[in-house]
Structure 1
Amino acid sequence: MSNSEPSSRDFNRRRDRRKQGLNSFTKAPPVILDRRERVMIKPEEKKSSTEFVEGKTAGDLVIPFLRRPGKFNTEGILKVNLADYPGHFVIGIVGKQGVGKSTILSHFAPQPDQIFSTQSCDQFLLSGHRTEGIDMYVTPERAILLDTEPLLSWTVLEKVLRNESLEGLNPDVYLEMDSIYHLLFLLSICNVVLIVSNGPEVDLDILQLLQRAELLKFNIPEYPLLAGHQDINYYPDIVFVCNKCKSQDFTWEKYMDLQVSLDILFKESELKTNGLIHFNHILPSFYDSNGSNVFLLPDQIEEKQIESFNTLASTLRNQVLSAPRKIGKKGQVSEKDWLRNAVKIYELVHKSDYMNEYLQVIRKLRDS
Structure 2
Amino acid sequence: MTTTDSTRIERRPWGTLPGGEAVTHILLSRPGGLSVGVSTLGATITAINAPGRDGVQANVVLGFDDLAGYLAPEYQASYPYFGATIGRVANRIRGAAFAIDGVRYSLRANEGAHQLHGGHGFDRAIWADRIDGDSLRLDLVSPDGDQGYPGTLQVSATFSLPADNELAVRYEARTDRATHVNLTTHGYFNLAGRDGPGIEGHHLQIHANAYTPIDADALPTGAIAAVDDTPFDVRQPQRIGALIDGAHPQLALGDGYNHNFVLNGTAGTLRPAARLHDPVSGRIMELATTAPGLQVYSGNALAEPVARRRQALALEPQHFPDTPNIAAFPTTLLRPGELYVSETRFRFLVD
Q: TM-score, normalised by structure 1?
A: 0.29
Q: Tell me which protein shows more strand as a share of its residues.
A: 2
Query: Of the two, which has the highest radius of gyration?
Result: 1
User: Quick one: higher RCO (CA 8 Å, sep 6+), 1 or 2?
Assistant: 1
Q: Tell me which protein shows more helix as a share of its residues.
A: 1
